[in-house]
Amino acid sequence: MSAAKQFIVGIIAAMGALCLGTVIGWSGPVEEEIKSGQAFDFVPDTTEWGLVGSLMTLGAACSCIPVGVLIGKIGRKVTMLCLLPPFVIGWALIILAAHIAMLLVGRFIVGFCGGAFCVASPMYTTEVAEVKYRGIMGCFFQLLIVHGILYSFVVGAFVNTLCLGIACTIWPIIYFLLFMWMPESPVYLAQKGKTERAEKALKFLRGKDADVGGELKDMAAEGQKEQASIGKTLCRKVTLKGLFLSITLMIFQQFTGINAIVFYTTFIFMSAGSSLEPRFSTIVVGIVMAVSTVISIFLIERLGRKILLLISALMMGISTLIMSLYFGLLLDSDVGWLALMAICIFIIGFSVGFGPVPWVMMAELFAEDVKAIAGSIAGTTNWLAAFVVTLLFPVLNEQIGATACFGIFFGFAVAAFLFVLFLIPETKGRTINEIQAKLGEKKE
């Protein structure tokens, strides 16, 4: 029963990821209608549409560090609840846009609010989980992101831009109404010396008869480190090593090409000449992503984080190599199905490893006293990398061609494989203190 309760709390907490997923998936289905002038009273030019796609990632990048500070000051739960009203306002600006500026501001706001959950949600979810469930629950964030993307793909394939905007606005409201009943993170409460509330939260999560004394003692001990300044905690060797690993994983997550593929899926299939209607090709990609992420939940505590990352990098490398060869040599060979197959291989590979695992490890690699700010730095890096890829992909595709673009993604996939193989430690089944000890080990 305690496991079921933890999973329910974790799923509800991760609904911020579902909200974010709808933001990420929104641009694909509405592109044609907006560019044709049917959606709004204005028609964005190429540069403006590029900003519509990329401003949400810039907004997300701007949110991570402020939110990292807030979750340490006012708590994980309160911070996440405070993000939801502006989330609704952002969608309202998009729905009611009478000028391109309203649309751009709306995209920035929903990106800001959605990106903030990349720091707060995985941290909260792993803090309410027992060690044996931490990996599984850490995957909830990526699981709900892909379901949010799929939701936008499916709904957007059958309704107009206005209806899709309304359908996306519903989710932050539902999230607020559900999450307001969840407990605050017991780790945060223990750090702030609120022992009775921390114990009550743990009893709620573990069961009223559970012995939470040992867990509570460990949390309280971690809280004692909070007296050190942020500068000193960030400069600890073990923290710097964790930052290096986490930031590099985030860079590889984006520079292997995931956001270029998700944001421009319809364009890629049209360019590849796929016989399947582009909007349905997009839905196929969304379904493959969702199913693969579910599979990763069952594998992460069995195979471990490192193995999944290696498998992921290998599959992404194979698929981007196929795409590069396809656009370079086979574009006129009537094998459009090859593009769909290669994209599906990429999505499967990404979803079982480099999709969920960097977020899981972001919440595992840092001590409790520095986790909020260090996680924020890693999250900011992720979204800045996403902004660069999203903005540059259509430009590079026009300048150097799809063959070279996918060749670049292939190179990053190879580099990611080697990085994981030689530098990433396995964190499966280890407590935060054990992971810190492992990172602090000196090489002989």
The domain that contains 263 carries what CATH number? 1.20.1250.20
CA–CA separation, 115 vs 113, rounded Å? 6
pLDDT at 165: 94
Nearest to 199 by CA among 189, 281, 71: 189
Residue 198 lies in a domain: no
b/e map 351-379, b = 16+ CB within 10 Å:
bbbbbbbbbbbbbbbbbbbbbbbbbbbbb
Residue 134 lies in a domain: yes
Question: Two tokens at 380?
Answer: 């900011």
Percent of the chain with pLDDT over 70: 89
Q: Does the structure show a pLDDT above 50 at 444?
A: no
Write out the residue range of the structural domain in which residue 48 sits.
Answer: 2-182+228-439
Count the alpha carbons within 13 Å of 182 in the hemisphere toward its beta carbon.
29
Residue 215 lies in a domain: no
Q: Which residues lie closer than 8 Å to 344 by C-beta, 6 or more apart?
A: 284, 285, 288
Higher model confidence: residue 5 or residue 432? Answer: 5
Residue 84 lies in a domain: yes
Residue 195 lies in a domain: no
- Greatest mean pLDDT among 88-102, 197-211, 281-295, 355-369 lies in 88-102
**pTM score, whole prediction:** 0.81
pLDDT at 54: 79
Helical packing angle, 195-206 and 2-13, nearest 10°:
110
Residue 212 lies in a domain: no
- Total Cβ atoms within 10 A of residue 177: 10
Percent of the chain with pLDDT over 90: 32
Residue 207 lies in a domain: no
230-244, 262-276, 337-351: least confidently modelled range: 262-276
* Band of residue 162 on the pLDDT scale cut at 50, 70, 90: very high
The average confidence (pLDDT) of the chain is: 84
Q: Which residues lie closer than 8 Å to 139 by C-beta, 6 or more apart?
A: 293, 296, 297, 300, 356, 360
Q: How many domains does the chain have?
A: 1
Question: Two tokens at 419?
Answer: 């990085």
pLDDT at 234: 76
Residue 30 lies in a domain: yes
